[in-house]
Amino acid sequence: MAIILLIAYFAKPVVSSFSEITDTLSKVNHSLDLLNKDLEASKSDRQSMHDELKIHDAKLDSHSERLVAHDEQLKTLFKERN
């Protein structure tokens, strides 16, 4: 009987510790799930920004080409005047 009480006396803190560890791990798991969702949302936002930047880059290239063409037209007009 004394052996059982002795085992119960030492086992109780161990079982209590395991319970606390399990609770902590479940909280950590929940936090990781939330962080993963935030990371996915962030990835989606970054992807949409990169897509938007590609569109703006294409527009800038187009405007740059038009600017060069207009410069050439202006040079031609000034040569004709002189």
pLDDT 10s digits, 9-66: 777 888 888 999 999 999 999 999 999 999 999 999 999 999 999 999 999 999 999 9
In a domain, 4, yes or no: no
Alpha-carbon gap, residue 65 to 63, rounded angstroms: 5
- Domain range holding 51? 17-81
Whether the per-residue pLDDT at 79 is higher than 70: the answer is yes
| DSSP 8-state symbol, 70 | H
In a domain, 1, yes or no: no
Question: How many distinct structural domains can be found in the chain?
Answer: 1
In a domain, 43, yes or no: yes
Q: Looking at residue 82, what is its pLDDT? A: 66
Find the length of the chain. Answer: 82
Q: How far is CA 74 from CA 7, 22, 71, in A?
A: 98, 77, 5
**pTM reported for the whole predicted model:** 0.56
In a domain, 64, yes or no: yes
Q: Looking at residue 35, what is its pLDDT? A: 98
In a domain, 21, yes or no: yes
